[in-house]
Copies of this chain bind each other. A is one copy, B any other.
Amino acid sequence: MDRPIQHELSAPARRALIDALGESRVHTDPETIELYAADQGPRRCPPIAVVFPSDHEQTAALVRVANEHRLPLVARGAGSGNVGGALPVPGSVVASFECMRRVLEFAPEERVMVVEAGVTTSEIDALARSRGLFYPPDPGSAPYCRIGGNLAMNAAGPRAVKYGGTRDYVLGLRAVAGDGRTLVTGGRVTKNVTGYDLTRLLIGSEGTLALVTEATLKLVPAPPRVGTLRACYESMPQAADAVARVMNQPAVPCALEFMDPSAIAAIQQAGAAGELPRGTRALLMVEADGDPADVERALARLRTALEGPGLLELREAADPAEVADLWRARRSLSHAVKKIAPLKINEDVVVPVPRLAQFVAVIEALADEYRLPIVSFGHAGNGNLHVNLMVHPDDADEMRRAHEALERLFETVLDMKGTLSGEHGIGYEKRNFVPLEIPPDTLAMMRALKHVFDPNGILNPGKKFPEA
């Protein structure tokens, strides 16, 4: 961006936006500005306008206007991200894809669905299931998050341990690059090596390279049954060892979720954990899916793997209601832990699964050393833990301790050859840590790619990487 930050939308810019999108799609009233000033991350920054493109062509027109008037564009799905990926930057226009929610095509016999960026993840899955198929990526926010946001972050969820993430279910994209050109990537077949893989370059690029308007998704057959085990352990490292055993035998679970004592307390408060054995300090939820007979055999194998030191109880969920309760509680954890302290510093680091026991021991030690409540839960089968440092933002000493603990946490993760983010993304919040993981030459290459897609730097500036 080579112009000074604009504190309000200039008259010519407003006119150009209205010409491109129509008056009803350009909002600058204080209520709308306020509503779109933040995502689920900790920061706020009011945009100078919020716009709602109706389709690909309007999105292309929007990007042209943004280039002409040097307006930073911050793409937004449902604003359910944790890392400020959709946080407006000063002087920016939020481009909300909420109005682009058409399913353009559903071809069940081809296992393909073409959707606009604003369709919710659950809607895609529900439509797929109406024809015996399903869409595996299942972020906790699936009922309201938009596929465009999922694509921006390469979102995943519990099922990733068996099925992978968003990236694994996209055959092609339609998008508008930062320079205003329309990109058509991939196609609608499951094997395709024509051209470079721009599809996967755009997925996870957090709205910094292009605005995705349409996606062609791959669906898979829906498993007819899911079985759920609950295993209680005396300690977190013992539960983590059980995770490593599960992931080192052939029956791949379709969920392998970990909860530490604070997370357990939170789901007990929600009334979902039922009676737990005395001394439970770690809980695993383990699922297998497939035909009923497959599930039975897989559960038997998973039971064997879950048995070991520290196991206090291992049982199958009694009925669908109990499973539903467990999952509702698990999915509510992200919000529930906010009761512990006003600010949740929420990391979604990943370590190799065999290092998980050592990693949870480090988390416990950091919580002690820095006198901080740390709540850990998440997708243990991928080594992907949500580590939440609970703090009072007005307590300067606590904030200082939290930041020191965070740096130690990241050092540990990277020493273990893990990564800073498994599914939440980098956004604004983690950008300054990226150079700890990505070497300078590789980071320079990424910045150079950004410049090719977005020469004027209008797309989500200052996100994904630290400022150069």
Contact = CB atoms under 8 A, between A and B. Distances in A.
A219 to B, nearest CB: 11
B423 A191 contact: yes
B160 A191 contact: yes
Given A249-B221, A250-B132, A354-B107, A421 B193 contact: yes
Contact of A201 (B196, B221, B417): B196
Contact of A422 (B192, B197, B294): B192
Contacts of A420: 194
B247 A417 contact: no
Contacts of A293: 293, 297
Nearest to A177: B445
Interface in A157-194: 160, 164-165, 167-168, 177, 181-185, 187-194
A267 interface: no
A23 interface: no
A362 to B, nearest CB: 16
Query: Which of A197, A201, A384, A446 is packed against the most chain B CB atoms within 10 Å?
Result: A197
Given A382-B190, A384-B191, A426-B194, A110 B442 contact: no
Interface stretch (A140-148, A312-320, A345-353): A345-353
A172 to B, nearest CB: 9
A9 to B, nearest CB: 29
Nearest to A197: B200
Contacts of A297: 291, 293-294
A438 interface: yes
Interface stretch (A117-125, A280-288, A332-340, A447-455): A447-455
Query: Which of A132, A209, A446 is packed against the most chain B CB atoms within 10 Å?
Result: A446
B181 A445 contact: yes
Query: Which of A112, A419, A439 is packed against the most chain B CB atoms within 10 Å?
Result: A419
A88 interface: no
A379 B189 CA distance: 13
Interface in A206-229: 209, 220-224
A354 B105 CA distance: 15
Contacts of A446: 195-196, 198
A257 to B, nearest CB: 14
Contact of A442 (B164, B188, B193, B195): B195
A383 B191 CA distance: 8
A132 B165 CA distance: 25
B204 A417 contact: no
Contact of A379 (B191, B195, B201, B244): B191
A109 interface: yes
B191 A445 contact: no
Interface in A349-394: 350-354, 379, 382-384
A424 B438 CA distance: 32
A237 B340 CA distance: 64
Interface in A409-468: 417-426, 434, 437-439, 441-446, 448-449, 452-453, 464-465
Interface string A301-340: 0000000000000000000000000000000000000000
A80 interface: no
Contact of A421 (B194, B204, B209, B244): B194
A108 B194 CA distance: 34
Given A247-B111, A445-B177, A445-B198, A189 B452 contact: no
6 contacts: A153-B193, A156-B191, A182-B441, A189-B351, A195-B438, A221-B250
Given A183-B441, A188-B352, A445-B453, 5 more contacts: A108-B248, A160-B191, A190-B383, A191-B382, A195-B464
Closest 3 A/B residue pairs (Cβ): A191-B422, A221-B250, A200-B200
